Amino acid sequence: MLRRSTQAVLAAASLASVAVSHQVLDLGTVDWTLASPNFSHISVPGKVPSQVHLDLQDAQVIGDPLHALNEFNLRWIAYSNWTYTSSPLALQKNASSTWLVLNGLDTFTSIEFCGQHVAATNNQFRQYYFDVSAFLGFCDRPVLSINFGSAPIIANATRAIPGQETWPFGVQQLYEFPNREYIRKEQSDFGWDWGPAFAPAGIWQPAYVVQLPPQNVYVRNTLVDIYREGQYNFYAPDQTKDWVLNASVDYLGSLPLGVNVQYTISDASGENLQAGSLSNVTSEDGRLTGSTSVRDGAVEPWWPVGMGQQQLYNLTLNIVDSSNTTVVTVKKRIGFRTIFNNQTPISQEQIDLGVAPGGNWHFEINGHEFYAKGSNFIPPDVFWPNVTEQRLRQLFDSVIDGNQNMLRVWSSGAYSPDFMYDLADEMGILLWSEFEFGCALYPVNEKFLENVAHEVEYQVRRVNHHPSLAYWAGGNELENLELQTVYKKAPDEYPRYLAEYETLFLDTIVPILLGNTKSISYSPSSTTNGWQSLDFSKSQPITQRYENLTAGAIYGNTDSYNYNITQLGNLSRYPVGRFANEFGYHSMPSLQSWQQAVASEDLSFNSSVVMLRDHHPPAGGVNTSNFYNASIGQGQMTMAVQKWYPVPDKTDSLANFSAWCHSTQLFQAEFYKFQIEFYRRGSALPERQLGSLYWQLEDQWQAPTWAGIEYDGRWKVIHYVAKDVFKPVIISAYRNVTNNDLEIWAISDLWSSISATVNLTWYDWSGNKLNISMDATTNVSVGAINGTKILVSNLDTILQGRDAVNALLRMDVSAQGSRPNSNSTQTFTHTNWFHPAPLSSSNLTDPGLELSKNNGSFTVKATSGVAAFVWLDYPGGAVLNFEDNGFWLAKGEEKEVGYKVKSDTTGGRWKDAVTVRSLWNNALSEGY
């Protein structure tokens, strides 16, 4: 029910920008009926915005789509047509013009108004608007009816059109429903390896009927672009220049002659910082554009979290007629920042500082390099209308609590709603954004390209004013996966497919992007070796580098997956690049999450229900009896646990399932920890590595996936472990698994150097200190966004014949420093543990964990040994972010852990059911 009320508020908020002289009927406020020509017995109340599955669920025609194997049972919905029909609309008869404004239709529709065909649509990501004035004149029953066709059937039919584009077998990644690449609909609606395939339909975004008096307009979209004078998307902006604010309003209706645009920029106290008329106003084809300049220093810059304040301003645009009467007002919340994705060649100056030659690939905020820490965001729900601002706020709180500053909003979902960018603006989360293409190549016929062009223009203009918008990429894994697969499968045809790729991702998208924004950088593919050269005499200036690489040089960003379980911690297998934008391994969600969707008798690793919710490797079709791929995915998790951890073998089958789920999370957490530490050390190495975004932030259902946050918001072990290794200052050990060479580094992503004290102590598992001395520096300084080697040695030399299974190194660092843009000095600490032997063969002992509950916190103490991966667990029905979890404790060490309650349906009773375990309890003792 929350879903509805929040949307009503959002719709009202967006109406606030409309002047009073219009009549805008929010179609979310009228009654709708949902029926299907395929099923005469179904006729239920419909909603706007919504999707068919949600409305059928509300009407109890179907159960929870996410329950058990309902994904497969509900395919009939996707194979059918569905019609949303409004009640008669209360409209004026004497308006000068009447428009349908549809911000999002998912996807194939035939629209009727007053019983007349208005239009057909075929792109989920476009805003559609139709002048229906002529229909209203002779209309007794102003009813709007939108008939949605079946996306899987239409995708197939599009594929079958004679002359349609095809690709060599194996190039197009097939999840469940085929042929997604022919249609402009959320690609993961047809299945992905972390989500179900529902192919939903519906009026998924707000929709309006707008009625205008003469000489009046309705603003349907507004671009605001803020950049430094002379700024150009592919080069570092000059931070001494004044700001330019370019505003461009898309409207329906007609403006009186001689309009002017008055603007004010005000701060949260309501005070106007600057006001006046926009200069250089031009007006054509329903678009009014003008600009002004804002003196450098007149406004405070916007910074991402951890780097300064998230300063925002209100921009008000008043379009006034020649007698200075306001025709329409537009408000946008803006911020002043430059965000630059630097792919320029490595300079001699950088080489002199030890950077390997090649190309840069990193982000700069307001002229400063920074270390990007974060993860990849997928659609947080299979049904977008079910995503509320409150849910995203909770998720973004976890992003901030997890020490993350950037999310890559993965490109085969949907363009993010404004309320998501609004939250990111307020919280300081940079959103690397992408056009919705991925893991496929796409057709380049004229109709397809024209359809994409409309989509790109609308979306680029809609979100550009948000200071959290960090970057645009053309699509997911196109250069490193798709083009390379074509090259392997059909080398003779590679030039043709490459040319087509460039037709879409360079020739079509780039001129539109550059025509609308000077502030945002672009790359055709999420993972890329970057551009090789730029030619500004062309409307599309980019020549991509692809594989034109020079030996010894380093280019671009990296994307790396390795399901060979023997390779945990083998640093030589990680890619050396400038920025890591994807890497990961899947794990099971907690028992508490499984219980939301799966009956207790099915809660075992090999039950059909659990297996068939594992979509990795991809199912490869809609066949639901093929357990083969699911068993590979389940096997990868199982074998990883068996190789690296003591194996749970509890008598109680539910406790055993829970322990196994947890163990897969421990593997995942260690797998990511090694890589994040490796990439962060790269900031001090010739690769000058400046980003680590793991796959993936969150879940959209309860299933085995790469997520760090489960569907209801509960953190897996990895989200806590990533929080720990994303701290500004960390200490970590790097072991060469081939020759046992060991290095220890202190690493900092602060913007000024720090002086740090280091402590290294060896223990056995019973918690006794070992008499091992290492020739390590104890007082070190670490440069800005850099690292310092504390120790270089060899493990065999260090252990001097001691058995590694009973030796553990505890590393502590404590540093004085200050955060970017802050004058105050603070202490940054980090503790890390290195276990030289796999935990599966280590001499684990019962650490004798004790848990006490305080007012607002818990205290955990290890009384009889070293505790690995201490885990505070809590029952379903609540969601908490603990301050710390998944940590290690020395014998006798106690730790007080605070928490934030994110949601609670237990009436506070969760507190009595909090438990604590460590690796020892999880695998080597009975009970949960």
Ligand X SMILES: *[C@@H]1O[C@H](CO)[C@@H](O)[C@H](O)[C@H]1NC(C)=O
Query: Binding residue for ligand X (CB under 6 A) from 7, 50, 70, 81?
Result: 81
Exposure on the CB side of residue 789, measured as CA atoms within 13 A: 10
Q: If binding is defined by CB under 6 A, does position 391 make contact with ligand X?
A: yes
# chain residues binding ligand X, by CB under 6 A:
35
Residue with Cβ nearer ligand X (182 or 458): 182
Query: Binding residue for ligand X (CB under 6 A) from 14, 33, 264, 386?
Result: 386
Q: If binding is defined by CB under 6 A, does position 714 make contact with ligand X?
A: no
Sole window of 111-119, 147-155, 164-172, 477-485 interacting with ligand X (rule: CB under 6 A): 147-155
Residue 521 amino acid letter? S
The CB density around residue 717, as the number of other CB atoms within 10 Å, is 25
Sole window of 90-98, 144-152, 534-542, 917-925 interacting with ligand X (rule: CB under 6 A): 144-152
Residue with Cβ nearer ligand X (66 or 808): 66
Residue with Cβ nearer ligand X (44 or 776): 44
Residue with Cβ nearer ligand X (300 or 500): 300
Residue 119 amino acid letter? A
What does DSSP say about strands 522-523 and 779-782: parallel, antiparallel, or unpaired?
A: unpaired
Q: If binding is defined by CB under 6 A, does position 43 make contact with ligand X?
A: no
Sole window of 291-299, 428-436, 439-447, 605-613 interacting with ligand X (rule: CB under 6 A): 291-299
Q: If binding is defined by CB under 6 A, does position 302 make contact with ligand X?
A: no
Residue with Cβ nearer ligand X (179 or 692): 179
Residue with Cβ nearer ligand X (267 or 896): 267
In DSSP terms, which residues pair with 554 in a beta bridge? Answer: 358
Q: If binding is defined by CB under 6 A, does position 293 make contact with ligand X?
A: yes
CB of 449 to ligand X, least distance (A): 22
Show the CA angle centred on residue 94, arms to residues 90 and 98, nearest 5°: 65
Residue 554 amino acid letter? I
CB of 59 to ligand X, least distance (A): 13
Quick check: 576 and 859 in contact, CB under 8 A?
no
Residue 583 amino acid letter? F
CB-closest chain residue to ligand X = 149
Query: Binding residue for ligand X (CB under 6 A) from 65, 524, 713, 836?
Result: 65
CB of 278 to ligand X, least distance (A): 8
Residue with Cβ nearer ligand X (107 or 343): 107
How far apart, in whole angstroms, are the C-alpha atoms of residue 612 and residue 895?
40
Q: If binding is defined by CB under 6 A, does position 864 make contact with ligand X?
A: no
What does DSSP say about strands 39-46 and 108-113: parallel, antiparallel, or unpaired?
A: unpaired
Residue with Cβ nearer ligand X (75 or 368): 75
Q: If binding is defined by CB under 6 A, does position 268 make contact with ligand X?
A: yes
Closest CA to 201 of 87, 110, 73, 94: 110
Q: If binding is defined by CB under 6 A, does position 280 make contact with ligand X?
A: yes
CB of 45 to ligand X, least distance (A): 16
CB of 293 to ligand X, least distance (A): 5
How far apart, in whole angstroms, are the C-alpha atoms of residue 376 and residue 699?
11
Q: If binding is defined by CB under 6 A, does position 314 make contact with ligand X?
A: yes
Residue 237-266 contact track with ligand X, rule CB under 6 A, x = bound: -------x-----------------x---x
In DSSP terms, which residues pair with 595 in a beta bridge? Answer: none
Q: If binding is defined by CB under 6 A, does position 381 make contact with ligand X?
A: yes
CB of 248 to ligand X, least distance (A): 12
Closest CA to 813 of 746, 754, 890, 868: 746
Residues within window 3-32 making contact with ligand X, judged by CB under 6 A: none
Annotated catalytic residue 677: no
Token digits of residue 591: 């028992």
Q: If binding is defined by CB under 6 A, does position 606 make contact with ligand X?
A: no
Quick check: 403 and 442 in contact, CB under 8 A?
no
CB of 232 to ligand X, least distance (A): 15
Residue with Cβ nearer ligand X (591 or 868): 591
Which of helix, strand or coil describes residue 852?
strand
Residue with Cβ nearer ligand X (382 or 659): 382
Q: If binding is defined by CB under 6 A, does position 333 make contact with ligand X?
A: yes
Q: If binding is defined by CB under 6 A, does position 267 make contact with ligand X?
A: yes
Sole window of 148-156, 496-504, 833-841, 917-925 interacting with ligand X (rule: CB under 6 A): 148-156
The CB density around residue 628, as the number of other CB atoms within 10 Å, is 11
Q: If binding is defined by CB under 6 A, does position 66 make contact with ligand X?
A: yes
Closest CA to 471 of 310, 579, 331: 579
How far apart, in whole angstroms, are the C-alpha atoms of residue 602 and residue 592?
14
Closest CA to 641 of 695, 570, 588, 706: 588
- What does the H/E/C string look like for 267-306? CCCCCEEEEEECEEEEEECCEEEEEEEECCCCCCCECCCC
Tracing tokens 């209801």 back to the chain, one arrives at 712
Q: If binding is defined by CB under 6 A, does position 37 make contact with ligand X?
A: yes
Sole window of 18-26, 152-160, 200-208, 348-356 interacting with ligand X (rule: CB under 6 A): 152-160
CB of 175 to ligand X, least distance (A): 13
CB of 396 to ligand X, least distance (A): 15
Q: If binding is defined by CB under 6 A, does position 561 make contact with ligand X?
A: no
Query: Binding residue for ligand X (CB under 6 A) from 167, 204, 218, 313?
Result: 313
Residue with Cβ nearer ligand X (108 or 888): 108
Quick check: 539 and 491 in contact, CB under 8 A?
no
- Among the listed residues 112, 436, 455, 477, the single catalytic one is 477
Residue with Cβ nearer ligand X (113 or 660): 113
Residue with Cβ nearer ligand X (219 or 244): 244
Q: What share of the chain is helix, strand, coil (3-state, %, to 5)?
A: 25, 30, 45
Query: Binding residue for ligand X (CB under 6 A) from 149, 304, 728, 876?
Result: 149
Residues 6+ apart with CB under 8 A from 889: 847, 849, 860, 861, 862, 866, 867, 870, 895
Token digits of residue 270: 């309501």
How far apart, in whole angstroms, are the C-alpha atoms of residue 558 and residue 578?
8
CB of 911 to ligand X, least distance (A): 23
CB of 179 to ligand X, least distance (A): 7
Q: If binding is defined by CB under 6 A, does position 178 make contact with ligand X?
A: yes
Q: If binding is defined by CB under 6 A, does position 200 make contact with ligand X?
A: no
In DSSP terms, which residues pair with 35 in a beta bridge? Answer: 43, 83
CB of 159 to ligand X, least distance (A): 7
Q: If binding is defined by CB under 6 A, does position 134 make contact with ligand X?
A: no
- What does the H/E/C string look like for 23-74? EEEEHHHCCEEEEECCEEEEEEEECCCCCHHHHHHHCCCCCCCCCCCHHHHC
Residue 89-128 contact track with ligand X, rule CB under 6 A, x = bound: -------------------xxx------------------
Tracing tokens 């070992």 back to the chain, one arrives at 770
Closest CA to 519 of 911, 156, 241, 331: 241
Q: If binding is defined by CB under 6 A, does position 76 make contact with ligand X?
A: no
CB of 109 to ligand X, least distance (A): 6
Q: If binding is defined by CB under 6 A, does position 312 make contact with ligand X?
A: yes
Residues 6+ apart with CB under 8 A from 125: 104, 184, 414, 415, 436, 455, 458, 459
Phi-psi region of 240 (alpha: psi -120 to 50; beta: other; left: phi over 0): alpha
- Taking each helix axis from N to C end, the angle separating 2-15 and 389-401, rounded to the nearest 10 degrees, works out to 90
Q: Which residues are catalytic?
A: 477
Site residues, ligand X (CB under 6 A)? 37, 57, 65-66, 79, 81, 108-110, 147, 149, 152-153, 156, 178, 244, 262, 266-268, 279-280, 291-293, 312-314, 324, 333, 381-383, 386, 391
